[in-house]
Chain A
Amino acid sequence: MRLACVSVPRFALAVEARLDPRLLRAPAIVYDGNRVLEASPELTGVHPGQPLRQARAAYPGAVCVPPNLLLYRAISGAMLQALGQVGPQVELAEQGRAYVDVGGLDADAFALAGKTVDVVRAATGLLPSVGVAEGKFVARVAAELCPPGDAGVVPPGRERDFLRDKSVSLLPFAPETIEHLRTLALHTLGDIAGLPKTAVEAQFGGGAGRRLWELAHGIDREPLRPHRPEESLSERLTFDAPVVADEALLMAGRQLLQRLAGRLDRRAARTMRLQVLAGGRLLWERLETFREPTADEGRLAFILKTRLSALRLTEAVDTLVVTLGGIGREAARQPKLMTEANPQIASLADAIRQVRARYGRPVVWRAVEVDPCSRHPEERAALIPYDA
């Protein structure tokens, strides 16, 4: 499958630099919590996921900025929409990186890449690099090796030649696997491609070994998963003054749910996203995916209460946003196996007691809530003998 990989290098830093141009001149770190999210390339040795304390100790002069996650998402959405002008099938692989199916598009690959750069820059103000090749991996490598605003095109059938001298660090594998490759003196993709497939599988296991070998040959079977827009309903409430009390959030959440329930119009939602903001900055977010679509306001309110109760506010917040997604018809509902109204309950309980007596231990259990608001899922519910 011929794909264009559109990649904005160091996406978070690029977005932050639009807000604060001094980040273009000074080495910078975007951090999330106490971990590094992204760092300027000159900060060698600093990598995503590293404790921020370590990075700060190594580079005390680096500018450290918190992430603006909502803005990243909005810009990624704009990028996704803009890429619809290039091809109908677009996948947003991660923030700042997307794939477009360009197979069958009647255009020169470089012209297509140029158009891609233009539409993304116009929509987001960011300058991406573009790689056009067969399969995601080769397209991504081609894009990553280009400077922003440029394009790399790998002609069909030349994937292995293109990858031959490229570093194994470009492989989408864990750092431990890359290190393992290096200890085996496999430094380039050509080194791996020169080995028999069975040798790589023997060293790294059937699945990982096969994928390593195939990627080194430029074979990537991972399909494009096109983005499918879905309808969503969103309501937001901004407090007159910032709040720190969970109860205030809960009341606001209920109010927003009431508004949303009125807009559902006999349809059901598949997901609920809760977002808590302060000064336009996203402080906390949670996405709930329901087992089945629901329009039941009571059920939605219960989930909202459970999630917001688990939230520990560390600073004042000013906005709550509730979004219901995957809006559609309520397709099916799973009824409860047993209800109080079931007249067979008594005889069933009697049968369960007899089975217990026969085996000398409980064989039928039921789930009970223990601490439904606990932050740890294993503490929320337990199984007890049915007849306990």
Chain B
Amino acid sequence: MLTASGGAGGPDTVRRLNLPRPLRVEAGDDGTPRRVQHRGQTARPGRWRAVVQVRERYRVDDRWWTDAPVSREYFELLLDGGLPFTVFHDRIDTRWYAQRDG
């Protein structure tokens, strides 16, 4: 059983890497991110950064036969300043998340 990183797990807890982190995204009419609120590794709200290029856009639909289906639309972005950044739109809870592609 895996638990989330950063949690108050027990002494020998296994921490998952690359867990999705909620973030704010401003998307265009076609659902493509235009700006993201990038906060780096800090907990403070970050500054908004413009999306320079959408390198990839793809869907991941999985476990639709279970009680915990996964339906995500991933965007591999290049942010202002040349920073590669991956976000996805969770099509179930309709929120945006940042995620490193481990």
Contact = CB atoms under 8 A, between A and B. Distances in A.
A187 B2 CA distance: 51
A376 B11 contact: no
A380 B17 CA distance: 8
Interface string A286-321: 110100000000000000000000000000000000
B68 to A, nearest CB: 11
B11 A360 contact: yes
Interface string B36-47: 000000000001
Interface stretch (A71-79, A168-176, A195-203, A239-247): A168-176
Contacts of A388: 12
Chain B interface size, under 10 / 10 to 19 / 20 to 34 / 35 or more: 35 or more
A225 interface: yes
A349 to B, nearest CB: 16
A48 B15 contact: no
A49 B29 contact: yes
A161 B40 CA distance: 40
Of the listed residues B31, B52, B76, the one surrounded by the most CB atoms of chain A closer than 10 A to its CB is B31
Interface in B17-68: 17-20, 26-31, 34, 47-48, 50, 52, 55-56, 58-60, 62
Given A285-B56, A286-B58, A378-B20, A384 B14 contact: yes
A51 B85 CA distance: 26
Contact of A379 (B16, B31, B47, B76): B16
B102 A177 contact: no
Contacts of A208: 26, 48
Chain A interface size, under 10 / 10 to 19 / 20 to 34 / 35 or more: 35 or more
Contact of B84 (A222, A289, A361, A362): A289
Contacts of A360: 11
A26 B3 CA distance: 54
A104 to B, nearest CB: 24
B76 A287 contact: yes
B62 A376 contact: yes
6 contacts: A35-B31, A48-B30, A175-B29, A177-B26, A379-B2, A384-B15
Given A286-B58, A384-B12, 14 more contacts: A48-B29, A173-B34, A174-B28, A174-B34, A285-B56, A287-B55, A362-B12, A370-B2, A376-B62, A377-B100, A379-B2, A382-B14, A382-B15, A382-B17
Interface of A: 33, 35, 37, 47-49, 172-175, 177, 207-208, 222, 225, 284-287, 289, 360-362, 365, 367, 370, 375-385, 388
